[in-house]
Structure 1
């Protein structure tokens, strides 16, 4: 398993698969454009989610054909953002439903879905392309490293790492603002 300076190794025995129906519901905004790239996701078990632990979700992706351009042959910046949005949507919806993040505790998952397309903003995005990724088969680790809530606004600092079986790796830091209604 590939390691980076950003994300910890995840032992597969501690992963709990997110239900496929839940995944499809969270990714519904992408389905009409045939842009659902996230194939499955698993959350780090609550056994490891303690007060000092970060919230981590792992996903498997495949981009058979990009929805916005002819085949490029590699994972690019547009796909980085689209895949980040998909793992983020599933991760945060799951965290909301299961009350795993303090800053989202007052939301229901139905309220989260309403906020998802109009109330979540990327406020900072930094990506580092260490080596090319094959978009046909790759995985991702998504981690919330810091969260805070101010009145009707939640702020999340996240890390993400995309990697493929051939050793391709791209990592990033992404900050989010979630505007509560």
Structure 2
């Protein structure tokens, strides 16, 4: 399994950090970088419940592309899918330290040296939420050994529609590109 590593903290397996969002304490100063935003397309969200007293089961799928990933990487794009429950009332926001996200990180792609994962840090309504994305990859063009395996983190704020009257089945689709702004990098 790949490792999420940083210069100032011990190695942690991907599965060990998946219960919360990225710790901002380990980010490198972003002023030295000029990352392009991640590209999110074909976003679909479905939230269904069996009856008025049941929680919704929400499912989000989307395609992504990381324009910052260099050609030596075999994986610069792919698809993600993540699920969570929602009571139909509570507006969620992860804690400032990244704990208690609506849906913790879930790997979309994992191999020896690359992974892409997503989490849901904020959810106010099926048409108004945010996704956090991270991509760990090898980059010998922009980074030097032993720091040539960066992990970049991006946030995409999704606003498909305003709050609406909730039905037992809610479906939204956003085909157009949505930018995920890169806000952090670790190595």
Instruction: Give TM-score scaled by structure 1 length.
Output: 0.32
Which has more radius of gyration? 2
1 or 2 for the larger relative contact order (CA 8 Å, sep ≥6)?
A: 2
TM norm structure 2: 0.31
